[in-house]
Every structure is written in C-alpha cells, then in structure tokens.
Amino acid sequence: MYSASSKTMPCLLGMSTEEIVRLLEEMGQKPYRGRQISAWIYKHRARNFGEMTDLPLSLREQLSAAFSIGRGEVLLERKSCDGTVKLLLGLRDGESVECVYLPYEGRDSVCVSTQVGCPVACAFCATGLMGFRRNLTAGEIVEQVLVAQDIAVREQGENARISNVVFMGMGEPLLNLEATVKAMKLINSELGISMRSLTVSTVGVIPAIRRLAEYRLPFTLAVSLHAPEQKLREQIVPLARRYPLDELLQACHEYAEITGRRVTYEYVMLAGVNDSLKHARRLGMLLKGELAHVNLIPYNPCPEIEGFEASPPEQIQRFQEELERCGVRATARVPRGRDIEAACGQLKGSLAGRKALGRMSEGCATSERTL
Ligand code: SF4
C-alpha cells in the first residue's frame, strides 16, 4: 500500500536515465549514482529504495524521504486457460487501470492503458461506459510494462522478456499524446524494447496523427476503423463525427508517405452490423493501393453492452477472403483471454461490480487472485 506521503512525492519512474542523473547531480551526487538508480528501477524493477543495496544507506534514506519510485499495487489478477493474464493496477490516487500480459511463442507482449476510463465511448466498449477520469502519466504507462515483465518472469522463468508493447488498453492514446510519446521513448531507451515492436492504436484523432508523423518514430500506427462508411462509423465510434472517414484516410495516407511505415487498420467484427461482404468490398475499395494491413478482430462480448454479438468465425474468414480479393492484405486475429473478460474495461468493471455484490466469480480453468 502507499503511505500518505508517498502518494504526493515526485516519482522517479517516468524519468529517463539522463533526467535521473541530472536530479542526482543537483543533490550533490556523482552521475554514476543516477545510472545505478535508473538500472534498479527499469532493469531490476525495484519497488523501493531499500532494495538498492549498492547505494550508501544515507543516500537510500535521503531518496526515500523525498521521492517515491512510483510502483503501484496489482489489485486483481486473472489468468486465462490460454496463458493470458489480465491485471488491474492500483494507482497512487486510488484510480486503477488494466493491462494484459499476452504470452506468444518467443514474443511476449503487453497491452497497456493510456487513460483512466475513456472519453471516446465506442458503442461496443466496456471502458467507454465508465467515462473519462484522467490521463495517465508516462511513468504509469511504463509501469504496466514492468508489471507484465514481473508476470513473464514468474510464468516463464528468469529469461522471459516482454518484447512487444501495444497501446490498446483503456483510453485513446492520441488524446494523451505527450505522455504516450514519452512512454514509448522510455520503453525503448530504458527497457530496451525496439521502437519497431511498439504499436499505438487510435480511433483516428487526425491532428495527433499528423503530429505523430512529424516525430518519424518507427512504431506501428494502428487505426481502429470498424466501419467502411461514415454513417455506420459514427454509430460505432462517436468521435468519427469530429474526424470524418475520408479525412482520416487522407491523414493515414500522408502518414504512410511521410514515415514509410505501413498503417494497420483494426476492424472489430460485429455480427450483422459491419461484417457483410458488401462491407468487405467497400473497405477493400477504400484501402486498395494503400500501404495498409487490416486486422479483423473477433468481438469479445461483455454483459454490460447490449446489441452486439461476435461474428461467426466462418463469416470472419469470408470477410478476410473478400478483402484479399480486393487486393488488401488482412489477418483474422485469434481471440485471447475470452474466459477472463480480456476486452478492455471488463476487469475494472467486474471488480467494481463484485465489490458491490461482495462475491467472487469463477471461470473454467481460469484462476483469479484478489491481491
Ligand atoms: S475502444 Fe478504445 S477508444 Fe473506444 S471507448 Fe474503448 S478504450 Fe476508448
């Protein structure tokens, strides 16, 4: 738990090694002390200054009195039959966010949140129902990767490494652009994860896409399209009213031209809503000739949201084949963590609901810990 004072102290998690070195120099310490502290935070994932045993005791005490590392507590953890682990992470101000550890053969990934709640309110999304609470800091985003790394080591052994990070959890990353970009840079420089292994997902905040293009960072931009027509898209993604489909596609086209990076288009498959072959052909027409790839995402139904069902796997396959016929590369994603409510917002919602009900739910081979 956080002590009252540590809740308000400045955090070192979220600062680069250079920034920590400068801070230590201001405290009259040699630069190598800053590098030692940075290594403890990012490489050894220390949770308190007491663990930093190669620092003099007096410095550890000085740091403890003035700073917090900024690590939170895992409030709830659910493990799926397929190895996916979903975590609810408590923040210093009492808020909480979700992150998901996704083990793949030789490519462990984590899906991180960038906001508490989300102002976008997509029609199919449990996080959207919560409304927007606040932006996360860069440190709070990076911390989710550290938590996932802890889980990877616990599940797979000391050599396990998180190698991919997707910014696709709670919140719209491009409405928290500054912290998102800083977190990407920290994940790259401090955790050693390649920028090419980072994916940032957006529903299409056009001005932020244009700003991101100027950074020329080699991460993958994933745009959640979800519909090939403006009217339908407005029903699924309300922010589409502000950022129309044709302008969004133009911004993505320019993004690909400026950066030379292929844009990924995410398309959640909703039965009877956006999954017909007519929709596939329309999407194919929009993206033909673009530097683009489409990910077809099976919908993860959640009890709080009515009116949407997952498209059957055969329909997803037909949709994919139709896109390919139109000359657009597409992949059907394999659903993960269905038995643990792995879609974003579901775990936080379920903790709140369970607290109200005062009971615990149980899954098949699923395991759950309230911590
Ligand atoms: S899908 Fe993403 S952008 Fe849409 S409401 Fe959910 S968290 Fe926000």
Q: So what's the pLDDT on residue 354?
A: 45
**Residue pLDDT, tens place only, 235-246:** 999 999 999 999
Are 155 and 85 within 8 A, CB to CB? yes
**Residue pLDDT, tens place only, 115-127:** 999 999 999 998 8
CB of residue 148 inside a 6 A radius of ligand 1: no
Annotated active-site residue 172? The verdict is: no
Is the pLDDT score of 367 beyond 70?
Answer: no
Is the pLDDT score of 347 beyond 50?
Answer: yes
Task: Locate the domains of the chain by residue range.
Answer: 17-66, 73-370
For 255, the 3-state DSSP assignment is helix
For the CA atoms of 27, 30, 32, 33, the dihedral, rounded to the nearest 10 degrees, stands at -40
Q: So what's the pLDDT on residue 353?
A: 45
Nearest CA to ligand 1 atom 3: 172
**Residue pLDDT, tens place only, 244-263:** 999 999 999 999 999 999 99
In ligand 1, the atom with minimum distance to the C-alpha of 121 is 5
- Those residues with Cβ within 8 angstroms of residue 211's Cβ, 6 or more apart along the chain or in another chain: 177
For 119, the 3-state DSSP assignment is coil
State the Cα–Cα distance between residues 241 and 226, nearest whole angstrom. 14
State the Cα–Cα distance between residues 81 and 196, nearest whole angstrom. 29
Are 286 and 247 within 8 A, CB to CB? no
In ligand 1, the atom with minimum distance to the C-alpha of 202 is 3
Q: Are strands 85-90 and 292-298 parallel, antiparallel or unpaired?
A: unpaired
Q: So what's the pLDDT on residue 301?
A: 86
How many CB atoms sit inside 10 A of residue 313's CB? 12
**Residue pLDDT, tens place only, 303-316:** 888 889 999 999 99
Both tokens of residue 194? 């390649």
CB of residue 221 inside a 6 A radius of ligand 1: no
CATH fold match for the domains 17-66 and 73-370: no
Residue 78 binned pLDDT confidence (cut-offs 50, 70, 90): very high
State the Cα–Cα distance between residues 255 and 223, nearest whole angstrom. 11
85-90 β-sheet, strand order = 330-332, 292-298, 263-269, 220-224, 198-202, 162-167, 108-112, 96-102, 85-90, 73-79, 367-370
Give the residue-averaged pLDDT of 363-371.
45
Is the pLDDT score of 360 beyond 50?
Answer: no
Are 80 and 338 within 8 A, CB to CB? yes
State the Cα–Cα distance between residues 52 and 46, nearest whole angstrom. 8
Q: So what's the pLDDT on residue 364?
A: 31
Q: Which has the higher per-residue pLDDT, 143 or 2? A: 143
**Residue pLDDT, tens place only, 59-74:** 999 999 999 999 999 9
Residue 362 binned pLDDT confidence (cut-offs 50, 70, 90): very low
Question: If residue 161 lies in a helix (H) or strand (E), which one and from where to where?
Answer: none
Give, in degrees to the nearest 5, the angle at Cα 56 between 55 and 59: 90
The mean pLDDT of the chain is 91
Q: So what's the pLDDT on residue 99?
A: 96
In ligand 1, the atom with minimum distance to the C-alpha of 125 is 6
Give the residue-averaged pLDDT of 148-157.
95
Q: So what's the pLDDT on residue 302?
A: 83
| CATH for 73-370, options being 3.20.20.70, 3.10.620.30, 3.40.50.620, 3.30.420.40 | 3.20.20.70
Q: Are strands 292-298 and 73-79 parallel, antiparallel or unpaired?
A: unpaired
* Cα of 122 from ligand 1 centre, angstroms: 5
What interface predicted TM-score (ipTM) does this complex get?
Answer: 0.99
Give the residue-averaged pLDDT of 317-332.
97
Residue 345 binned pLDDT confidence (cut-offs 50, 70, 90): low
Q: Which entry of 98, 172, 266, 341 is annotated as an active-site residue?
A: 98
CB of residue 170 inside a 6 A radius of ligand 1: yes
* Cα of 124 from ligand 1 centre, angstroms: 9
* Cα of 223 from ligand 1 centre, angstroms: 12
Give the residue-averaged pLDDT of 75-101.
95
CB of residue 268 inside a 6 A radius of ligand 1: no
* Ligand 1 site-directed mutation target among 112, 115, 116, 120, most atoms within 8 Å of CB: 120
15, 56, 71, 183 from 23: Cα distances, Å: 10, 17, 19, 19
For 286, half-sphere exposure in the C-beta direction (CA atoms, 13 angstrom radius) is 22
**Helices of type H across the chain:** 17-26, 31-42, 57-66, 126-130, 138-156, 177-189, 206-215, 230-236, 245-259, 277-287, 313-325, 346-357
Annotated active-site residue 125? The verdict is: no
**Residue pLDDT, tens place only, 44-53:** 999 999 999 9
Q: Which entry of 99, 111, 118, 344 is annotated as an active-site residue?
A: 344
CATH number of this structure's domain 17-66 = 1.10.150.530
How many CB atoms sit inside 10 A of residue 84's CB? 22
Q: So what's the pLDDT on residue 336?
A: 74
For the chain, percent of residues with pLDDT exceeding 90: 82
* Cα of 99 from ligand 1 centre, angstroms: 14
CB of residue 111 inside a 6 A radius of ligand 1: no
For the chain, percent of residues with pLDDT exceeding 70: 89
State the Cα–Cα distance between residues 95 and 262, nearest whole angstrom. 36
Are 88 and 351 within 8 A, CB to CB? yes
